[in-house]
Amino acid sequence: MERRSAPPFENCRRITHDNDNQTHFHTGSVGAQDKNGRAVMMLTGVAVLSGLLMSSFEERTTAGEEHMHWHLEQLRWTGIGETSTEDGHKLWHSGAEKKHERGVGVLVEKETAKSVIECTPVSDRIIAIRLKGKPRNMTIIQIYAPTSDSEDEEIERFYQDLEQTIKEKAKKDILVIQGDWNAKIGYKESTGWEGTIGDCGVGTRNERGIMLLEFAKRHHLVVANTLHNHKLSRRTTWHSPDGVTHNQIDYILVDRRFQTGINRPKTRTFKKTDIGSDHNPVMMTFRKRLSKEKKVSQRRTKFDLEKLKDRNTTNEILGKAKPIKRPWITPEILQKCEERRELKKNRFTNNESLGQYRKANKEVKRAIIKAKDNWVEKQAEDIEQSLAVNNSRKAYSVIKSLTKEKTGRTNVIEGKTGQLLTNNTSDS
């Protein structure tokens, strides 16, 4: 994956945690800038670039510490890649190949990054990250849905990609899907959608909102930021450029089975955050115990080498090593050779016997040629695969075994005059 260098950040706002395990913002300087003049903010050491929607999770590690990771949309970086800040925070992003349009990303605080199992870029509208947790792992999917001006085909393609992403996740994982859905689900319109949304939305539901609710209900998800009766400014997530229209189009969807982990009063919009965007950040506080992803290590098996000193045991178990002169010879070819050997005994009895022998002889030769060609091709594939994974030792070992010249043994003796004699010289 492509790697980018992360910009330095200074004079930024932070989040702290007090003794009652709640998250609080410090009042202070916001709207700091990086070296490119872009507005940024700092949340527990995690930088958020301007023009991005953010939603975060408050999580507890096995040590009881709480950490944050942020999900970004409209990132507008091209290609797929990852980068790290100087402090060790990780950013994964997925965008268009050439145009600086759309794009999504996940920005993870350095301690939480230790719990990341994998991050999967799906498209310039979808990216998924999987975190190791107890007793269940968590899959978080960040999305950026097509706008209301997009064609229906693009909307259908987006939901198809999202459905496929959900299908490929582990079934036991806690599922969270969040981002800019470009849909309105409405205020006090939960009738018929109980268990999927609350009454604390904004505005009037539209067609895209119905599509979102059908999707959420089908996958047993609940819209977290519609469950608590916040004041309007803490529910609104988007403002029109002229400042006249205000809507809620950004949502966090959580697996319904685990909605008790949602801290509803702490799940809301932050309108005063200075990020230079027409979207307000949406944050959900979710209680989840994380654990560090452990690298799988293969334990070495200890063998009882003392038994190898017993010659009888060694011969019985290991047997004698037989050099393989023609490794392409298969058991099927040996069977054909045995049949040819039997026919050879009586080949001169009559013409029919001779014909059977000659036919068997041709079959053996053809089988050997074919088997040798397949074996050489297999060796070539092994060389390519070894070089592809930087295993040059194995690659050159195979090449050497195929290309080395086999020479016969030369006997050397000393003649009467002291000259060393070989098979090609004589003592004069």
Least confident of 27-31, 271-275, 376-380: 27-31
Whole-number pLDDT of residue 7: 36
Task: List the one residue out of 147, 103, 146, 145 whose CA is nearest residue 121.
Answer: 103
Task: Say whether both 172 and 244 belong to one domain.
Answer: yes
Are both 237 and 164 inside the same structural domain?
Answer: yes
Say yes or no: 72 and 208 in one domain: yes
Same domain, 243 and 366: no
Percent of the chain at pLDDT > 90 equals: 25
Rounded percentage of the chain residues whose pLDDT exceeds 70: 74
What is this structure's pTM? 0.56
Nearest in space to 251 (alpha carbons), one of 310, 309, 178: 178
Which of 31, 34, 33, 72 is CA-nearest to residue 55? 72
Distance in angstroms (rounded) separating the CA atoms of residues 203 and 35: 39
264 and 335 co-located in one domain: no
Q: Determine the 3-state secondary structure of 375 from DSSP.
A: helix
Residues 67 and 185 in one domain: yes
Lowest mean pLDDT among 13-17, 211-215, 269-273: 13-17
Residues 263, 316 within the same domain: no
Inside any domain, residue 180: yes
The answer for residues whose C-beta is within 8 angstroms of residue 188's C-beta and 6 or more apart is: 199, 201
Confidence of residue 13 (pLDDT cuts 50, 70, 90): very low
Domain, as residue range, for 325: 310-404
What confidence tier does 284 reach under pLDDT thresholds 50, 70, 90? confident
Q: What per-residue confidence (pLDDT) applies to 227?
A: 94
CB burial readout 39-64, b (16+ within 10 A) else e: bbbbbbbbbbbbbbbbbbbbbbbeee
pLDDT digits (tens, 9 = 90+) for 376-388: 888 888 888 888 8
Helix (H) or strand (E) holding 344: helix 331-345
- On whether residue 302 sits in a domain, the answer given is no
pLDDT of 230 reads 93
Which of the two residues, 380 and 76, has the higher pLDDT score? 380
Q: How confident is the model at residue 61 (pLDDT cuts 50, 70, 90)?
A: very low
Chain mean pLDDT for the chain: 76
Can you read off the two tokens belonging to residue 183? Answer: 């849909």
pLDDT tens per residue across span 173-219: 999 999 999 999 999 988 999 999 999 999 999 999 999 999 999 99
Q: What is the pLDDT of residue 112?
A: 83
Question: Same domain, yes or no, for 335 and 282?
Answer: no
